[in-house]
Amino acid sequence: MTCFETIQAYGLRSIGIGEKLLPKTDFTLCQQFTLIGSGMIWNLYFGVLALLAGFFLANALALSKSAHSPWARKPAEWFVFVFRGSPLFIQFFLAYETLVLLPRSGIEIFGITLATSWTTKAWAGALFVMFLNTAAYSAEIFYGALRSIPKGDLEAAEAFGITGWQKFARIQWPTMLRLGWPAYTNEAIFLFHATTLVFFSSFPAFGQMGDALYYANYFADKTFNPFVPYPIIAFYFILLTLLVTFVFGRINRRLNRYVPQNQRSRIRLRVALIR
Q: Is residue 65 near other proteins by the rule CB under 8 A? A: no
Q: How far is the CB of 196 from other proteins (least distance, A)?
A: 5
Q: How far is the CB of 216 from other proteins (least distance, A)?
A: 7
Q: Which residues of 183-193 are buried (b: 16+ CB within 10 A; e: fewer)?
A: bbbbbbbbbbb
Distance CA(182)–CA(141), nearest Å, equals 10
Q: How far is the CB of 1 from other proteins (least distance, A)?
A: 19
Nearer to other proteins, 7 or 137 (CB): 137
Distance CA(228)–CA(215), nearest Å, equals 12
Options 87, 106, 150, 204; binder of other proteins; rule CB under 8 A: 87
Q: Is residue 237 near other proteins by the rule CB under 8 A? A: yes
Distance CA(99)–CA(71), nearest Å, equals 29
Options 230, 249, 265, 267; binder of other proteins; rule CB under 8 A: 230
Q: Which residues of 139-166 are buried (b: 16+ CB within 10 A; e: fewer)?
A: bbbbbebbeebeeeeeeebeeeebeeee
Handedness of CA 100, 101, 103, 109 (dihedral sign): negative
Distance CA(95)–CA(203), nearest Å, equals 10
Q: In terms of C-beta distances under 8 Å and separation of at least 24 residues, what long-range contacts does 2-9 make, across chains too? A: 3/28, 3/30, 6/30, 6/31, 6/34, 7/34
Q: Is residue 178 near other proteins by the rule CB under 8 A? A: no
Contact region with other proteins (CB under 8 A), list: 13-21, 142-150, 155-163, 195-203: 195-203
Options 50, 183, 233, 255; binder of other proteins; rule CB under 8 A: 233
Nearer to other proteins, 250 or 270 (CB): 270
Contact region with other proteins (CB under 8 A), list: 49-57, 123-131, 194-202, 248-256: 194-202
Exposed (0-12), middle (13-18) or buried (19+): which is 100, by Cβ within 10 Å?
A: middle
Options 21, 109, 112, 271; binder of other proteins; rule CB under 8 A: 271
Q: Is residue 76 near other proteins by the rule CB under 8 A? A: no
Options 3, 29, 238, 259; binder of other proteins; rule CB under 8 A: 238
Q: Is residue 24 near other proteins by the rule CB under 8 A? A: no
Contact region with other proteins (CB under 8 A), list: 28-36, 96-104, 111-119, 141-149: 96-104
Helices (H), 102-196: 122-147, 151-159, 164-167, 173-194
Site residues (vs other proteins, CB under 8 A) = 81-82, 84-91, 93-94, 97-98, 100-101, 193-194, 196-197, 200, 213, 216-217, 220, 222-227, 230, 233-234, 237-238, 241, 269, 271-275
